[in-house]
Structure formats: C-alpha cells, structure tokens
Amino acid sequence: MKDRMTPAVRMTGHSQRGQCAKRMSILDAAADVFCRQGFAAASIDEIAAVACVSRQTIYNHYREKETLFVAVVEDVMNRANAMLFSVLSAFPDDADNLEDDLTAFVVRLNKNCICNQDGKFLRKLVQTEGERYPHLFESWRQQGPGKLTTALSALLARLAQKGALVIDDFDVAARQFVALGNADLQMLTLFGGTPTDAELEKAARNAVRTFLRAYGRPAANKSGAQPQLAAVSG
Amino acid sequence: MKDRMTPAVRMTGHSQRGQCAKRMSILDAAADVFCRQGFAAASIDEIAAVACVSRQTIYNHYREKETLFVAVVEDVMNRANAMLFSVLSAFPDDADNLEDDLTAFVVRLNKNCICNQDGKFLRKLVQTEGERYPHLFESWRQQGPGKLTTALSALLARLAQKGALVIDDFDVAARQFVALGNADLQMLTLFGGTPTDAELEKAARNAVRTFLRAYGRPAANKSGAQPQLAAVSG
DNA sequence: GACGTTTTAGACAATGGCGTCTAGTTTTAC
DNA sequence: GTAAAACTAGACGCCATTGTCTAAAACGTC
C-alpha cells in the first residue's frame, strides 16, 4: 500500500529532495515539452527524458497524459498569478514622476508576466487547447488577464481620483494601457522571442507617453507634448 | 458499388471545375481541421470526411500531410493578404470626419482581417507551429502584420503631412493604432469567439478616440459638434 | 457508346505513442 | 540493518494514424 501523504509535511529536507523534486522536475519538463509541441504532439517519453525520470514514474504521479497536462496548466497558472499579484502591488499611487513610475511598471509587467516563459506558455496553450479544455481556459481568463484589467482599472481610478489622470471609462483605459504596453512587443512575443531590456524599456516608454498624452492631466505638460483638452462630453 | 455518394457534392460543375472544386474543398476542410486540432492532432481521415472526399484523393493532390499543411497555410495567407490590401486601400486620406472615418476603418480592419476566420487561423497556427516551420512564419510575418504596420505607418504619415495628426514616430504610432484597435477585442479573439457588429463598433470608437487624443491635431476639437478650421494643404 | 482520367472504399503493412506490467535497483523511514 | 516505498529499464498489447495499393465506379470527352 502506498502512503503518499507521509513525506511532504512530516519530514524536512530529505523527502523534498526525493518526491517533491521529482514532481517539480516532471512538471517543468512537461511544461517545456507541452509548450513546444502542443498537447497532441508531446510524447510522454520525451517528457520523461527531459525530466531525467522514468516513464513509469510519470504514470505513477499522474494517472494519464491529460491529468499531467491539467496539473501543468494549474501549476503554471499559480506561478503566473502570484507574479501578477506581486507586480500589481507595485503600481504607482502618486502623481510625482508618473511617467517614469508607469514606465517602470510596464517594464515589470511585460518582463515578468507577459513576455516571460509562463505567459508565453499560457497564451499558447489557451489558443491551442482552449476549445478542447474550456474549463481550463475559463479559469485562466478570470484569474489571468481578467484579473489584470480589473485590477488595473481600479488602480487607474485611484490615480484619477488624485487628479493625476483624466479618464472617462476606467475599464477601457485599463485595456488600452495593457494593449499599448504590448504594442511594440506583440510581434516579438508572437514569434516566441524574448525582448531585451532595452527593447522592454523603449516599448514601455512609448506606451506610457501615448497613454499620458491621451489620459494625462492637461496641466501636467510633459516634455514637448502638446497640451490636450481632455474634456469629453458624454 | 454502393452509391453512398453525398448528394451535396453533386452540384459541382464540369471537368476543370470538378478538380478545382475538389482542391478548394480539401483546402477549406484542411484549414478547418488544422485550425481546430492543430497539425499533429489533425487526421487525414477527418479532413477527408469534412471535405466529402476520399482519403486517396487527398494523397493524390498533396503528396503527404505536411505538403497539404503548407498548401493550406499559403492559401489562407494569400486570401488574408488580398483582404488586407483591400482594407488598407480604403484608409481615409483627408482630415474631414477623421474620427468617423478612422473608426470605420478600424471596424473593417478588425472584422475582415483580424477577427475573421483566416486571421484566427494564421495567428493560431503561427503560435503552434511557428517554431516548427520557421519559413512559413517568416512569410506570414513579412506579408501579414509586417505589411500592416508598414503600410499604416505610411498612411499615418500622409495624414500627418496634411496636418490632421501630430506624430513623432510613425512606426510606433502605427503599432499603437493596431494595438488600440484590438484592445477591447483581444480577450474575445483569444478565446476564439467572433465579436458582434456592436462590439466592433464600440471597440473601434474607443480606440480612435484615445488615438486622436494622443495624436490628434491640438486645434481639432473632436466629439464636439462644431468643425474647426478645415484649411489643409491638399 | 467507348475510352482515359479521376475518384472511391476498403484492405494493407508500418509506425509510433499510450498505458500496463514485471523484475530489479535505489532511496527512504524507522 | 531492515523493510517498505519509490524509481528504473524494458517488454508488451492496444489503438490510431500514415501512406500505399487495388478493383470498382463515376465523370468527362470523343
């Protein structure tokens, strides 16, 4: 009789090395192979080889291929959500140096949430297997980008209340903020490449400049930008 | 032999049309199945069934699965390019009613190039099989979105030269224009759904409003009733 | 109506992956 | 040190799919 419960909590260092490490190794390898090959073309043998693990060990931990796939998606999603929360918690909340602060935020958002391996994996998987696994997609949609735009909407509203921005529709502005942040990187990320730090910086600066030209407080005149009249009658 | 011929296929015309129709039927069916299942999971039998064609006919026209796949991608790409060219040729070139004209353009662009079946197919395929078929992807990149932003950059420059827009970097503005146009639809298209006309209209209007707030001529007051000075060098 | 081309349905071997099983080895727990 | 659990390597059956082949049938042309 296998007693899988024992090691994790009870024992300290050794058990972590044994089983938990195997599990994580399998999850990482599976994420890599699933991302590169897609679900159908990914073979358990290749995952086992990448994980440096016997195939039977995989079947021991995860009953079948689909179980492994679901576990991988949930694992990546948890990491991505934690990272997203962390990045969102550093959103600027005062009007001083708003352009620089927003630029730094966009850099962090793109670098750690959107252009990184997990973001690429989730986007790719959602597009390829989304129709086949609607529940997985729904979870990702609500906890991933859904949370992002919702949270950003509130954060932008906070800045608007302080007078730093003039926004009529916070949800629209949040979506546009994200879209502008990705505008220069979209083709690169679609290709699968990873932007350099310089590219991230430049893309973020372009995005924030345009965003502030559209939504910045009229009085706050930034370098060389033309003053805007932001009054929008219903 | 048994006459289980499908009645629907009978409508096809004469000899040359017979073959050509078969080829197109195969291409359409293959595009459908490849898009839904991905290359690896798509089976020739299913494609044959969808196309109402014998499997041998497929192998007769296209030597093997990969040949068929390449032919499908090229076919869809040709259609998409033609549509993109057509839409781009209707980009507004005068400053009168710029907001409405740009909005209508964004609606057409999204409806006929980005959110339609071909656009969805290409995006999905590039993400899933892009690493496996770099040459296919490169072609799409240069002829698809690459052409879009390049052409848009020139078109925006034309508007700027006429004084309708104030743009410092046309390439950046072009990418941002596309990004803003998709901002409200991105999640929907990622899901695979098709936006309604109302959603398309609203998304385009939000995008153009923000774009013009950022890049519109300062004197030109939008969303008001009165047209401003219309003197522009024709 | 006859002939050549195209299409069709089905059979066929070959391939490869999934999931199971077994026997032998290593690791862990006590 | 010992026993139990986990891991490994490999073989195995099963099933789906690819691509080929063949005889029959449909189609278009003459």
Q: What is the DSSP string of A153-216?
A: HHHHHHHHHTTSB--S-HHHHHHHHHHHHHHTTHHHHHHT----HHHHHHHHHHHHHHHHHHHB
pLDDT exceeds cutoff 90 at A148: yes
Contact A169 B206 (CB under 8 A): yes
> B16: distance to nearest CA of chain A, Å?
37
Asked if A80 contacts A140 with a C-beta cutoff of 8 angstroms, the reply is no
Angle, helices A65-88 vs A44-51, to 10°: value is 50
pLDDT of residue B134: 78
pLDDT of residue B3: 32
pLDDT digits (tens, 9 = 90+) for B32-50: 999 999 999 999 999 999 9
Per the structure block, which two tokens stand in for A138?
A: 């729904």
pLDDT of residue B228: 37
Nearest CA in chain B to A226: B218
Work out the percent of chain A whose per-residue pLDDT is above 70: 85
pLDDT digits (tens, 9 = 90+) for A170-186: 999 999 999 999 999 98
Residue A11 CA to D2 C1' — how many Å?
20
CA distance between the termini of chain B: 72
CB atoms within 10 A of CB B151: 17
**3-class secondary structure, A17:** helix
pLDDT of residue A18: 64
pLDDT of residue A146: 82
CA angle B144, B91, A187 (to 5 degrees): 25
Angle, helices B134-143 vs B145-161, to 10°: value is 20
pLDDT of residue B144: 79
pTM score: 0.84
**3-class secondary structure, B174:** helix
pLDDT of residue B219: 58
Work out the percent of chain A whose per-residue pLDDT is above 90: 65
> How does B180-202 read in b/e, with b if 16+ C-beta sit within 10 Å?
bbbbbbbbbbbbeeebeeebbbb
A37 touches chain B (CB under 8 A): yes
Contact B183 A169 (CB under 8 A): no
pLDDT exceeds cutoff 60 at A233: no
The Cα diameter of chain B in Å comes to 78
pLDDT exceeds cutoff 50 at A3: no
Task: Report, in ranges, which bases of strand D sit under 7 Å from a protein C-beta.
Answer: 5-11, 16-22, 24-29
Partners of residue A191 in chain B, C-beta under 8 Å: 130, 137, 141
A123 touches chain B (CB under 8 A): yes
pLDDT of residue B68: 96
Q: What's the mean pLDDT when you consider all of chain A? A: 85
pLDDT of residue A10: 35
pLDDT exceeds cutoff 70 at B229: no
B193 touches chain A (CB under 8 A): no
pLDDT exceeds cutoff 90 at B14: no
pLDDT digits (tens, 9 = 90+) for A15-42: 456 678 889 999 999 999 999 899 999 9
Q: Which is more confident, A134 or B94?
A: B94
In this predicted structure, which of A60-74, A160-174, B213-227 has the lowest mean pLDDT? B213-227
> A8: distance to nearest CA of chain B, Å?
37
